């Protein structure tokens, strides 16, 4: 009996259905219905985590009656399914919201495959295409697209459409191997008002005429999040499922999932803003964390767990919210409380995927094991978006992140912020950690055993520092920190990781990340306050696909700080605000606060260059802070190439690129690492966004 026949018989026996007659040729019966019936597969199909011999395939099917749904999965080497190489029965389980994960093995390396799911009534899913990974010794260059931060209600997912159109123009072998998504795949906040560039309120409408709104949460949600009083936050499993189903109704996202394998990690908004372990800020939300994780597991396929039954990777548990005292935090600030353990233990997603000879993707989880950031909640603004009321001196964060180990074990009793003495609430706490101990050990092992040309560290939030030069206000604050939810809030963990990489002499690490809603290229350092700390390895930060670009988000979040507001937005005669933030922000990050101020509302580039300082964030070489889009990476025996693709704010169906800026970077040697180098630019580079333009001495003369 052939494998295919075996699978068919299993299907018939397991499902107990009559549409397949034992004596009829099964292939005839497996033909899809003439009308397709694909509406039962409204969320489309997807594939994930390619290996040389296998891949994870996914769909969701509408059940016609209560209970699990049996499906047949077909995989073919041809788009017309003329030759089916895998045919097996799979089950969409009610307990996983009728989603299916099927781990297919026995495939050929670096091959395209087409797949579809067929229901017992003959309904057939849309056809998906996927691609297996090349063999470890395969010299083929690997192209990957890097995505992050897609907020459904804030914009269309035309970034995917741009990518698909570009890629379709290439010969099949040169097309992408996968899309790496570094998180904020969904946002837990819905219903906020969406301001456009001039802060007028807009209401997006999908091409099919439907409002681009997530329907009301089944639970009603809770008030919160940006966008005013109408904004609601997800709370329950059904709320999160609704988010995924709505996001996957988007034809561009669905098309991308149907065409390329995704390799995903999560960031905070798959759960709640600024989350850590089972907590949102100081709030214990373990029950919600468990539900958010379950929904992610259901809708975001990934090769997790060890068994061939992918559904077993999710560990079911009863979880309740459990405010935990700090006494339960271990040496790495992991809260060893039963509910927190169960919520986090439900799913482990850090993993490694090798793509041929040239790149290992070391995919980290920067949310599940981290302790609280090195910044007391009391310092954070309590508005719609939790930002510090003003840029925070990095010394405060260093002290709080180190906890009881600060100052060699003598942490200060108080810290001073914006002229106020505040108790140092962390002085009895363990030092915080970004990765947690077990993941750190795993990561060190992954790095040690990697022998590819490039070791790609996939992290949901940048390692690079983004310092705001505040010397126009405080001569002692050259690097105020605003974005403390990423590695800037965990300087001790960053130093440990970078020191490890430098000490071991790994000269081929590259960090791939997102989260900042802007494109950045630069270098990671162990200690940005130590002027002798060398550039250690390059980092490429991709813009969001549709979430507010950094300039827009920043303009909305400077809160009460009039000085910063003055620099970020301009009040127009009509009383609306107009963002001039992008060039200002670029200038501020690359050339300092005075250059940003000199740029002014008239965008006086010459004045800005005259005021530019050459000691500001010298590790950042590119900043495009009003970008929407993605980054295409190419790994080969030569330098890593990164093309930052920037689209206009995706408020309509246009999807031409505004600019494409290409960088490359080679291996480091010893302690000396090259900075990402500008190779080419199509379209106008972002104003004040290229270091080499900004600091050109010839221009200043």
d(CA 464, CA 468): 13
> Closer to Fe ion at the Cβ: 132 or 557?
557
149-157, 390-398, 468-476, 584-592 -> range binding Fe ion (CB under 5 A): 149-157
Shortest spacing between CB 663 and Fe ion, in angstroms: 22
With CA atoms as reference, report the closest residue to 507 among 549, 550, 552, 447. Answer: 447
User: Binder to Fe ion among 97, 153, 167, 184 (CB under 5 A)?
Assistant: 184
27-35, 83-91, 176-184, 258-266 -> range binding Fe ion (CB under 5 A): 176-184
The structure tokens listed for 661 are: 């800026």
Within 13 Å of residue 348, how many CA atoms lie on the same side as its CB? 12
d(CA 391, CA 564): 10
Shortest spacing between CB 147 and Fe ion, in angstroms: 11
Within residues 544-573, the interface with Fe ion by CB under 5 A covers 547
Continuous segment of H or E residues that includes residue 506: none
Asked whether the CA dihedral 134, 135, 136, 139 is positive or negative, the reply is: negative
With CA atoms as reference, report the closest residue to 39 among 128, 125, 127. Answer: 125
User: Binder to Fe ion among 75, 86, 124, 149 (CB under 5 A)?
Assistant: 149
Shortest spacing between CB 513 and Fe ion, in angstroms: 11
46-54, 108-116, 157-165, 540-548 -> range binding Fe ion (CB under 5 A): 540-548
d(CA 570, CA 326): 44
Shortest spacing between CB 309 and Fe ion, in angstroms: 33
- Please state the three-class secondary structure of 322-349 as a single string: CCCCHHHECCCCCECCHHHHHHHHCCCC
Shortest spacing between CB 16 and Fe ion, in angstroms: 46
With binding defined as CB under 5 A, does residue 641 bind Fe ion?
no
Under 8 Å CB-to-CB from 269, ≥6 apart: which residues? Answer: 183, 184, 186, 187, 188, 189
With CA atoms as reference, report the closest residue to 247 among 321, 187, 293, 195. Answer: 187
Shortest spacing between CB 396 and Fe ion, in angstroms: 24
Binding mask 12-51 toward Fe ion (x if CB under 5 A, else -) reads ----------------------------------------
Shortest spacing between CB 548 and Fe ion, in angstroms: 9
37-45, 461-469, 541-549, 686-694 -> range binding Fe ion (CB under 5 A): 541-549
Within residues 449-468, the interface with Fe ion by CB under 5 A covers none
Describe the crossing of helices 286-299 and 338-345 by its angle, rounded to 10 degrees.
Answer: 10
146-154, 156-164, 501-509, 649-657 -> range binding Fe ion (CB under 5 A): 146-154
> Closer to Fe ion at the Cβ: 273 or 450?
273
- Rounded to 5 degrees, φ, ψ at 501 are -65, -40
Shortest spacing between CB 536 and Fe ion, in angstroms: 25
Q: Which residues pair with residue 113 across a beta bridge? A: 130
148-156, 160-168, 313-321, 348-356 -> range binding Fe ion (CB under 5 A): 148-156
Within 13 Å of residue 83, how many CA atoms lie on the same side as its CB? 3
> Closer to Fe ion at the Cβ: 357 or 373?
373
> Closer to Fe ion at the Cβ: 184 or 365?
184
Residues that bind Fe ion (CB under 5 A): 149, 184, 547
């Amino acid at each position: 009996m052939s494998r295919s026949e075996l699978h068919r018989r299993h299907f018939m026996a397991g499902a107990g259905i009559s549409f397949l007659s034992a004596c009829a040729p099964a292939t005839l019966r497996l033909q899809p219905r003439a009308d397709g019936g694909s509406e039962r597969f409204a969320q489309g199909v997807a594939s994930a985590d390619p290996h040389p011999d296998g891949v994870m395939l996914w769909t969701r099917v509408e059940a016609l009656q209560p209970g699990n749904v049996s499906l047949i999965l077909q995989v073919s080497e041809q788009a017309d399914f003329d030759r089916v190489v895998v045919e097996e029965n799979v089950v969409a389980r009610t307990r996983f919201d009728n989603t299916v994960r099927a781990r297919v093995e026995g495939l050929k390396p670096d091959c395209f495959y087409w797949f579809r799911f067929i229901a017992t009534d003959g309904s057939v899913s849309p056809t998906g295409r996927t691609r297996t990974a090349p063999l470890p010794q395969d010299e083929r260059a690997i192209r990957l697209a890097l995505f992050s931060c897609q907020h459904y209600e804030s914009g269309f997912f035309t970034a995917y459409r741009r990518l698909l159109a570009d890629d379709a123009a290439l010969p099949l072998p040169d097309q992408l191997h996968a899309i790496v998504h570094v998180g904020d795949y969904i946002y837990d906040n819905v219903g906020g008002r969406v301001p456009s560039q001039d802060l007028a309120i807009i209401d997006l409408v999908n091409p099919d005429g439907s409002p681009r709104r997530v329907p009301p949460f089944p639970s009603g949600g809770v008030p919160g999040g940006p966008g005013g009083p109408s904004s609601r936050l997800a709370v329950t499993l059904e709320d999160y499922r609704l988010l995924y189903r709505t996001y996957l109704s988007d034809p561009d996202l669905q098309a991308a999932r149907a065409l390329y394998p995704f390799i995903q990690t999560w960031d905070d908004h798959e759960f709640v803003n600024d989350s850590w372990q089972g907590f949102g800020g100081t709030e214990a939300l373990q029950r919600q964390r468990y539900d958010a994780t379950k929904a992610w597991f259901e809708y975001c396929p990934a090769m997790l767990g060890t068994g061939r039954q992918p559904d077993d990777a999710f560990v079911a548990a009863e979880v309740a919210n459990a405010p935990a005292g700090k006494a339960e935090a271990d040496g790495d600030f992991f809260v060893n409380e039963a509910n927190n353990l169960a919520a986090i233990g439900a799913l482990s997603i850090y993993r490694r995927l090798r793509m041929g000879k040239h790149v290992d993707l070391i995919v980290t989880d920067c949310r599940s094991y981290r302790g609280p950031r090195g910044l007391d909640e009391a310092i954070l603004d309590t508005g719609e978006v939790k930002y510090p009321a003003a840029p925070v001196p990095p010394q405060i964060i260093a002290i709080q992140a180190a906890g009881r180990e600060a100052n060699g074990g003598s942490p200060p009793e108080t810290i001073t912020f914006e002229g106020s003495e505040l108790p140092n609430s962390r002085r009895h706490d363990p030092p915080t950690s970004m990765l947690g101990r077990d993941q750190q050990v795993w990561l060190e092992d992954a790095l040690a055993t990697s022998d590819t040309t490039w070791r790609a560290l996939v992290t949901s939030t940048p390692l690079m520092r983004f310092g705001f030069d505040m010397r126009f206000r405080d001569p002692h604050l050259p690097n105020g920190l605003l974005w403390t939810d990423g590695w800037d809030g965990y300087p001790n963990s960053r130093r440990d990781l970078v020191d490890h990489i430098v000490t071991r002499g790994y000269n081929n690490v590259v960090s791939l990340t997102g989260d900042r809603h802007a494109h950045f290229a630069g270098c990671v350092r162990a200690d940005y306050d130590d002027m002798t700390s060398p550039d250690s390895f390059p980092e490429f930060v991709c813009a969001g696909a549709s979430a507010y670009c950094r300039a827009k988000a920043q303009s909305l979040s400077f809160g009460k700080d009039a000085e910063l507001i003055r620099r970020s937005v301009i009040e127009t005669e009509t009383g609306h605000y107009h963002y001039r933030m992008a060039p200002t922000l670029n200038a501020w990050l690359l050339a300092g606060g005075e250059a940003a101020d000199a740029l002014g509302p008239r965008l006086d580039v010459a004045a800005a260059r005259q005021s530019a300082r050459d000691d500001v964030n010298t590790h950042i070489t590119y900043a495009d802070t009003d970008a929407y889009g993605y980054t295409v990476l190419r790994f080969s025996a030569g330098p890593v190439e990164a093309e930052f693709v920037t689209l206009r704010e995706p408020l309509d169906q246009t999807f031409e690129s505004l600019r494409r800026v290409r960088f490359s970077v080679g291996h480091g040697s010893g302690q000396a690492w090259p900075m990402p180098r500008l190779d080419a630019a199509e379209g106008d580079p972002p104003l004040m966004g290229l270091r080499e333009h900004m600091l050109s001495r010839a221009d200043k003369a």
